[in-house]
Structure 1
Amino acid sequence: MIASATALNLDPQNLLGLVGKIRVLTKEKKFTLAQTVLEGTHQLYPRERVFQILQGILHYRQSAYKDAEIAFRKAIELDPRSSSAYSALNAALLRQDRQDEALQVLQQGLQIHPHWELYGNLGTSLFAKADYLGAVEAFKKAVSSNTGNPGAYLLWANLADAQRWVPAQAAASKDSYQRAITLLTPIVKRMPGNATLHSRMALYRAYIGDKTEAMARLEQALAISSDVADVQFRAALTQELIGNHKEALDALLKAAKLGYPINLIESAPDLLDLRRDSRYQQFIINIQRDRKI
């Protein structure tokens, strides 16, 4: 934020300074201020796709997925070779339970510009459709030293998630989770106040059977931010893997109430037992009833 402020003091229209300022404001959940800055950039830089992507991210962080979709599509119009725009649009479509369209977007992006980010999203889309073998192959390309980004912890974790559901790959999943943990550890040390990072570390620890460290990380994540849907969703997964069914269900219901997409809950294989619980089923009935009113 200091670097952005310095740049903007010297030049209030500095592109990189504006990008940095918007990213920081969005990360700090100062959404109104971020939107104000963005509105100015749309006038200053009407053909700059990065501001459309930032606009979409701002909407996405507020669970306004349709608005995010519109912004990401605009970014692609401005720069059809932007892998980030295709990846972001794919995520926004998945959150709207439009899986077929999400896959089409990825295929379009990969034809124009093969990129590890798109392979990662392809794996996520295939995983949501229970095509675990296809997901493994996509994630392997995403972490490959030739075609991917082997230094990204999240890609290794995604690969591990898919490997767990392919019998021949189950043993390899532990190694992939450990690789993710190794890459994530220094990041958590640099950003100790980040609930998302702690919740992810908790989940990865749970997957390798380290219950004590998983709970320690989860407690830290919830102490920092218990009102974030994604954090509560990972809390549900972590608690369920550890064997704390009641706590897992409580976290899952909180995640859903905070806006975590029901279609992503329904497609998570680790949550099958929770979805069979009467409390969860009643919750879904209530949602369906409310939508009809």
Structure 2
Amino acid sequence: MVDLHNAGTFNADTGFKAGYLNELEKMIEKVLPNAMLKAKPNLESRIRTLKRDWSIVYDMLSGKNNSGFGWDEHRQLVVAEDAVWNSYISSHKEAAQFRHRSFPYYDQLTAIYAKDRATGKDAQTVADIIEEINVEDVAATNSHEERNDFHGSEADVSLDDMNLSATQPQPEPQLARNQGDSTFSKKKKKISDASDFSTSFNDAAALLAKNIRTVGLEISKSIASEVVIQQKSEMTIQESALKLYPTLCEVEGLTEDERYRTLSKIPDHPTQMLIFFSLPSAVRLEWVRRFLADH
């Protein structure tokens, strides 16, 4: 999400433009090809949860009538005196979870969603966002169940088979309670499944961040090592070039013409120059003449 926001292609005042989930799915698939995370419902559900949690923390720290709350940058944690916490939680039950829980995504999500919480006709409270999320969840659940019910029914039912009477018998109270319990169990299971997915998503994100930091550190070390080696090599070549003419003058049998030709050519071949200085004095004359013949 942060990378997508930094790219700016899908940015909007309320977070992102339509279609951003599909783009986010493609980005995650590149770095986690085996995660099998889809825009809907996986990413949509996780982002909805993150925005809800961020809104709770944001209101504690930036709310109009709130005071006494602070942000511990090191621990990524909301901090306040016990009295402040107790007073706030009494009217904001959803904030209790962050009394001892860190929220490491706060700064990044603030950069993305802070405009959405600005004062004005479009400003939202935590209650607004949670209600909006719950409505979306119920709508998605009902839509899913309706599709299942439709596909599970027989398509060739005729009007004669249907009871169109306006005085259809109502379900017994006990039966209604059983149906209610069944619906509650289904919703509870869905919440549990969503929680499991959220945990898996967090673990995958943490592992990815750790791997990126490790790779980045190794690359930095490698680059630094190469720079040091290159600098040492350049210093050695420069020192050798400064000593080249006096050393050529010491080679017995080398003519003045050979000396100047060598002096003009060998600096263009740093490796050959280093080889020349590594040779014993007795063989340098023969080596220089062969070098001039080849170059």
TM-score range, shorter chain: under 0.3
Q: Give the TM-score taking structure 1 as reference length.
A: 0.22
Higher relative contact order (CA 8 A, sep 6+): 2
Q: Give the TM-score taking structure 2 as reference length.
A: 0.22
Instruction: Return the index of the structure with the highest Cα Rg.
Output: 2
